[in-house]
Amino acid sequence: MTLHRLAIDSAARHPDRLAVSCGGDTLTYRELDDAANRFANRLREHGVGRGDRVVLWSDKSVDMIAAMQGVLRLGAAYVPMDGTSPVARVTMLAADCGAAAVCTDAGRLAEAGTAIAGSAPCLDLHSPSTMDIDPVNEESDDRDLAYILYTSGSTGVPKGVCVSHRNARAFVDWAVAELAVGQHDRLANHAPLVFDLSVLDLYAAFAVGASVHLLAAELAYAPAQLVQFLYEERITIWYSVPSALVLMVRDGGLLERPAPAALRVVCFAGEPFPIGGVRSLAGWTDARLLNLYGPTETNVCTYHEVTPADLDRDRPVPIGRACSGDTVWAQRPDGTVAGRGDDGELVVTGPTVLLGYWGAPPQRGPYHTGDIVRVLDDGSFDYVGRRDHTVKVRGHRVGLGEVERTIAGHPDVDDVAVVLVGSGIEARLVAFVVPVRDRTPGPLAVKAHCARLLPSYALPEHVHIGPDLPRTGNGKLDRPALVRRHTELVARRAERGLVPAGQKGKAR
Which of 5, 60, 70 is closest to 32 using CA atoms?
A: 70
Min dist CB 438 to other proteins, Å, is 16
Are 301 and 351 spatial neighbours (Cβ–Cβ below 8 Å)?
no
> Which one of residues 14, 44, 387, 447 is an interface residue with other proteins (CB under 8 A)?
447
Min dist CB 392 to other proteins, Å, is 15
> Which one of residues 92, 456, 481, 483 is an interface residue with other proteins (CB under 8 A)?
456
The CA distance from 437 to 414, in Å, is 8
**Binding of other proteins at residue 450 (CB under 8 A)?**
yes
Stretch 417-436: interaction string toward other proteins, x if CB under 8 A: --------x-----------
**Binding of other proteins at residue 218 (CB under 8 A)?**
yes
Contact stretch for other proteins (CB under 8 A) within 127-135, 163-171, 211-219, 304-312: 211-219
> Which one of residues 70, 75, 80, 83 is an interface residue with other proteins (CB under 8 A)?
83
CB burial class (10 A; 0-12, 13-18, 19+) of residue 299? buried
Min dist CB 121 to other proteins, Å, is 24
CA dihedral 250, 255, 261, 263 (to 10 degrees): 20
Min dist CB 218 to other proteins, Å, is 5
Q: Which is nearer to other proteins, 219 or 275 (CB)?
A: 219
**Binding of other proteins at residue 220 (CB under 8 A)?**
yes
Instruction: Supply the DSSP symbol for 256.
Output: G
**Binding of other proteins at residue 260 (CB under 8 A)?**
no
> Which one of residues 259, 443, 481, 483 is an interface residue with other proteins (CB under 8 A)?
443
> Which one of residues 133, 219, 311, 477 is an interface residue with other proteins (CB under 8 A)?
219
**Binding of other proteins at residue 270 (CB under 8 A)?**
no
Q: Which is nearer to other proteins, 501 or 507 (CB)?
A: 501
> Which one of residues 92, 157, 216, 376 is an interface residue with other proteins (CB under 8 A)?
216
The pairing of strands 327-331 and 356-357 is unpaired
Which of 302, 318, 251, 304 is closest to 280 using CA atoms?
A: 251
| Count of Cβ atoms closer than 10 Å to residue 128 Cβ | 8
User: 366-395: which residues touch other proteins (CB under 8 A)?
Assistant: 394
Q: List, edge to edge, every strand of the sheet that includes 327-331.
A: 327-331, 343-349, 367-375, 381-386
Contact stretch for other proteins (CB under 8 A) within 63-71, 220-228, 361-369, 379-387: 220-228
Residue 261's SS3 state is coil
Residue 191 CA: distances (Å) to CA of 29, 81, 214, 325, 428: 22, 13, 9, 24, 18
Q: What are the beta bridge partners of residue 373?
A: 344, 383
| Count of Cβ atoms closer than 10 Å to residue 70 Cβ | 30
User: 293-322: which residues touch other proteins (CB under 8 A)?
Assistant: none
The CA distance from 197 to 111, in Å, is 30
Cβ contacts of 372 within 8 Å, gap of 6 or more: 343, 344, 345, 346, 383, 384, 385, 386, 387
The CA distance from 148 to 206, in Å, is 20
Q: Which is nearer to other proteins, 443 or 470 (CB)?
A: 443
Which of 343, 335, 340 is closest to 372 using CA atoms?
A: 343
| Count of Cβ atoms closer than 10 Å to residue 2 Cβ | 22
Q: Which amino acid is at 313?
A: R
Min dist CB 391 to other proteins, Å, is 16
Total residues contacting other proteins by CB under 8 A comes to 44
User: 95-134: which residues touch other proteins (CB under 8 A)?
Assistant: 107
**Binding of other proteins at residue 409 (CB under 8 A)?**
no
**Binding of other proteins at residue 21 (CB under 8 A)?**
no
Contact stretch for other proteins (CB under 8 A) within 3-11, 159-167, 260-268, 493-501: 493-501
> Which one of residues 92, 255, 259, 448 is an interface residue with other proteins (CB under 8 A)?
448
> Which one of residues 17, 321, 389, 462 is an interface residue with other proteins (CB under 8 A)?
462
The CA distance from 200 to 17, in Å, is 19
Min dist CB 200 to other proteins, Å, is 20
Min dist CB 229 to other proteins, Å, is 8
The CA distance from 353 to 346, in Å, is 13
Q: Which is nearer to other proteins, 183 or 503 (CB)?
A: 503
Are 99 and 55 spatial neighbours (Cβ–Cβ below 8 Å)?
yes
> Which one of residues 34, 52, 59, 404 is an interface residue with other proteins (CB under 8 A)?
59
Contact stretch for other proteins (CB under 8 A) within 116-124, 346-354, 361-369, 498-506: 498-506
Q: Which is nearer to other proteins, 75 or 83 (CB)?
A: 83
Q: Which residues bind other proteins (CB under 8 A)?
A: 23-24, 59, 83-86, 107, 216-225, 228-229, 247, 253, 394, 425, 440, 442-445, 447-448, 450-451, 456-457, 459-462, 493, 498, 500-502
